[in-house]
Amino acid sequence: MIRHGEQAPTAADGEDGGLSDVGRRQADQLGQRLEGIPFAEIHHSPLPRAVQTADVIAAYLPNVPTHACEHATDRTPIPSVEDRVQYPERFLAWLDRVPAQERDENAVGLQAAVEHFSATDADDRHELVITHNFVIGWFVRHVLDAPTWRWIGLDQANCGLTIVQFDTDRPPTLVSFNDIGHL
Protein backbone atom coordinates (compact mmCIF):
# COMPACT_ATOMS: atom_id res chain seq x y z
CA MET A 1 0.00 0.00 0.00
CA ILE A 2 1.26 3.43 -0.93
CA ARG A 3 0.07 6.87 0.01
CA HIS A 4 -0.09 9.09 -3.08
CA GLY A 5 2.65 11.64 -3.74
CA GLU A 6 2.56 15.16 -2.32
CA GLN A 7 -0.54 17.00 -3.47
CA ALA A 8 -0.42 20.32 -5.30
CA PRO A 9 -2.45 23.09 -3.69
CA THR A 10 -6.18 22.59 -4.00
CA ALA A 11 -7.78 24.81 -6.64
CA ALA A 12 -9.97 27.75 -5.62
CA ASP A 13 -13.04 25.73 -6.61
CA GLY A 14 -11.99 22.93 -4.23
CA GLU A 15 -10.83 20.57 -6.98
CA ASP A 16 -7.96 18.20 -6.23
CA GLY A 17 -4.84 19.80 -7.70
CA GLY A 18 -3.13 16.51 -8.50
CA LEU A 19 0.56 16.06 -7.71
CA SER A 20 3.04 18.80 -6.97
CA ASP A 21 6.49 18.70 -8.56
CA VAL A 22 7.78 17.14 -5.33
CA GLY A 23 4.96 14.57 -5.50
CA ARG A 24 6.02 13.58 -9.02
CA ARG A 25 9.63 13.12 -7.88
CA GLN A 26 8.45 11.03 -4.91
CA ALA A 27 6.40 8.79 -7.22
CA ASP A 28 9.35 8.49 -9.60
CA GLN A 29 11.70 7.42 -6.79
CA LEU A 30 9.17 4.89 -5.55
CA GLY A 31 8.64 3.56 -9.08
CA GLN A 32 12.39 2.98 -9.36
CA ARG A 33 12.32 1.06 -6.08
CA LEU A 34 9.39 -1.13 -7.12
CA GLU A 35 10.70 -1.86 -10.60
CA GLY A 36 10.88 -5.60 -11.23
CA ILE A 37 8.46 -6.68 -8.49
CA PRO A 38 5.95 -9.07 -10.08
CA PHE A 39 2.75 -7.17 -9.28
CA ALA A 40 -0.47 -8.72 -10.52
CA GLU A 41 -2.31 -5.38 -10.56
CA ILE A 42 -2.07 -1.74 -9.57
CA HIS A 43 -5.25 -0.49 -7.90
CA HIS A 44 -5.55 3.24 -7.27
CA SER A 45 -7.99 5.73 -5.89
CA PRO A 46 -9.90 7.66 -8.54
CA LEU A 47 -8.70 11.02 -7.15
CA PRO A 48 -6.19 12.89 -9.36
CA ARG A 49 -3.25 12.71 -6.92
CA ALA A 50 -3.55 8.91 -6.73
CA VAL A 51 -4.15 8.53 -10.48
CA GLN A 52 -1.05 10.58 -11.25
CA THR A 53 1.03 8.65 -8.70
CA ALA A 54 -0.13 5.39 -10.31
CA ASP A 55 0.75 6.67 -13.78
CA VAL A 56 4.32 7.51 -12.75
CA ILE A 57 4.84 4.18 -10.95
CA ALA A 58 3.21 2.17 -13.77
CA ALA A 59 5.90 3.42 -16.16
CA TYR A 60 8.36 1.29 -14.13
CA LEU A 61 6.04 -1.73 -14.14
CA PRO A 62 5.26 -2.41 -17.80
CA ASN A 63 2.48 -4.90 -18.53
CA VAL A 64 0.98 -4.59 -15.04
CA PRO A 65 -2.72 -3.74 -15.35
CA THR A 66 -3.67 -0.46 -13.66
CA HIS A 67 -7.19 0.64 -12.78
CA ALA A 68 -9.17 3.02 -10.60
CA CYS A 69 -10.67 1.14 -7.68
CA GLU A 70 -13.44 2.39 -5.43
CA HIS A 71 -11.99 0.33 -2.55
CA ALA A 72 -8.90 2.60 -2.63
CA THR A 73 -10.79 5.91 -2.54
CA ASP A 74 -10.28 8.50 0.19
CA ARG A 75 -12.42 7.76 3.24
CA THR A 76 -12.53 8.81 6.86
CA PRO A 77 -14.12 6.31 9.26
CA ILE A 78 -16.70 8.11 11.38
CA PRO A 79 -18.46 6.40 14.28
CA SER A 80 -22.24 6.35 14.25
CA VAL A 81 -24.00 8.13 17.10
CA GLU A 82 -24.27 4.89 19.08
CA ASP A 83 -20.61 3.96 18.47
CA ARG A 84 -19.10 7.32 19.45
CA VAL A 85 -18.34 5.87 22.90
CA GLN A 86 -15.67 3.66 21.26
CA TYR A 87 -13.63 6.78 20.37
CA PRO A 88 -11.73 8.96 22.85
CA GLU A 89 -13.61 12.20 23.52
CA ARG A 90 -10.66 14.31 22.30
CA PHE A 91 -11.19 13.14 18.67
CA LEU A 92 -14.96 13.59 18.37
CA ALA A 93 -15.04 17.32 17.54
CA TRP A 94 -12.45 16.77 14.79
CA LEU A 95 -14.42 13.82 13.37
CA ASP A 96 -17.58 15.93 13.35
CA ARG A 97 -15.89 18.33 10.90
CA VAL A 98 -15.01 15.67 8.30
CA PRO A 99 -16.57 16.66 4.95
CA ALA A 100 -19.64 14.70 3.92
CA GLN A 101 -18.00 13.24 0.79
CA GLU A 102 -15.21 11.66 2.89
CA ARG A 103 -17.38 10.27 5.72
CA ASP A 104 -17.52 6.47 6.02
CA GLU A 105 -19.91 5.79 8.89
CA ASN A 106 -18.71 2.85 10.99
CA ALA A 107 -16.05 2.20 8.31
CA VAL A 108 -18.45 0.21 6.14
CA GLY A 109 -16.50 1.11 2.98
CA LEU A 110 -13.14 0.51 4.62
CA GLN A 111 -14.23 -2.89 5.92
CA ALA A 112 -15.33 -3.78 2.37
CA ALA A 113 -11.87 -2.70 1.17
CA VAL A 114 -10.19 -4.95 3.74
CA GLU A 115 -12.37 -7.88 2.65
CA HIS A 116 -11.63 -7.17 -1.01
CA PHE A 117 -7.86 -6.84 -0.71
CA SER A 118 -7.41 -9.57 1.89
CA ALA A 119 -8.97 -12.29 -0.28
CA THR A 120 -6.49 -15.15 -0.64
CA ASP A 121 -6.22 -18.12 -2.93
CA ALA A 122 -3.79 -20.95 -3.62
CA ASP A 123 -1.40 -18.76 -5.63
CA ASP A 124 0.73 -15.99 -4.14
CA ARG A 125 0.22 -12.58 -5.68
CA HIS A 126 1.50 -9.07 -5.13
CA GLU A 127 -0.99 -6.25 -5.52
CA LEU A 128 -0.15 -2.57 -5.31
CA VAL A 129 -2.75 -0.22 -3.83
CA ILE A 130 -2.19 3.52 -4.23
CA THR A 131 -4.49 5.21 -1.80
CA HIS A 132 -4.76 7.72 1.06
CA ASN A 133 -3.51 8.14 4.60
CA PHE A 134 -6.63 7.09 6.51
CA VAL A 135 -7.23 4.06 4.29
CA ILE A 136 -3.73 2.76 5.05
CA GLY A 137 -4.19 3.60 8.73
CA TRP A 138 -7.39 1.53 8.76
CA PHE A 139 -5.63 -1.46 7.18
CA VAL A 140 -2.77 -1.25 9.69
CA ARG A 141 -5.27 -0.98 12.57
CA HIS A 142 -7.04 -4.06 11.19
CA VAL A 143 -3.84 -6.09 10.78
CA LEU A 144 -2.72 -5.23 14.32
CA ASP A 145 -6.22 -6.00 15.67
CA ALA A 146 -6.15 -2.61 17.40
CA PRO A 147 -9.22 -0.77 18.74
CA THR A 148 -11.46 0.81 16.11
CA TRP A 149 -10.23 4.37 16.69
CA ARG A 150 -6.49 3.54 16.44
CA TRP A 151 -6.33 4.41 12.73
CA ILE A 152 -6.07 7.99 13.98
CA GLY A 153 -2.41 8.90 14.25
CA LEU A 154 -1.12 6.14 11.96
CA ASP A 155 0.24 8.69 9.52
CA GLN A 156 2.12 7.82 6.37
CA ALA A 157 4.47 10.05 4.42
CA ASN A 158 3.65 10.80 0.81
CA CYS A 159 4.83 7.80 -1.24
CA GLY A 160 5.52 5.89 1.97
CA LEU A 161 5.33 2.13 1.48
CA THR A 162 3.35 -0.08 3.85
CA ILE A 163 3.33 -3.83 3.26
CA VAL A 164 0.62 -6.09 4.65
CA GLN A 165 0.54 -9.81 4.05
CA PHE A 166 -2.61 -11.89 4.02
CA ASP A 167 -2.37 -15.69 4.21
CA THR A 168 -5.05 -18.37 4.17
CA ASP A 169 -3.85 -20.15 7.31
CA ARG A 170 -2.77 -17.39 9.73
CA PRO A 171 -3.63 -13.86 10.81
CA PRO A 172 -2.50 -10.95 8.62
CA THR A 173 1.02 -9.60 9.10
CA LEU A 174 2.35 -6.05 9.02
CA VAL A 175 5.63 -6.47 7.11
CA SER A 176 6.57 -2.79 6.97
CA PHE A 177 4.96 0.53 7.85
CA ASN A 178 5.65 3.86 6.18
CA ASP A 179 8.98 2.82 4.65
CA ILE A 180 10.45 5.90 2.96
CA GLY A 181 13.98 4.61 2.31
CA HIS A 182 13.55 5.36 -1.40
CA LEU A 183 12.91 9.08 -0.87
pLDDT tens sequence for the chain (183 residues): 999 999 988 766 667 778 999 999 999 999 999 999 999 999 999 999 999 999 999 999 999 999 999 999 999 999 999 999 999 999 999 999 999 989 999 999 999 999 999 988 778 889 999 999 999 999 999 999 999 999 999 999 999 999 999 988 889 999 999 999 999
Q: Where are the domains of the chain?
A: 2-179
Report the amino acid identity of residue 32: Q
* pTM, two decimal places: 0.94
Question: Is it true that domain 2-179 has CATH number 3.30.70.920?
Answer: no
Report the phi/psi class of residue 50: left, alpha or beta, with left for phi > 0 and alpha for psi in -120 to 50: alpha
Q: Cα dist. 144→102, 134, 168, 174 in Å?
A: 24, 15, 17, 7
Each residue of 134-175: pLDDT tens digit?
A: 999 999 999 999 999 999 999 999 999 999 999 888 899 999
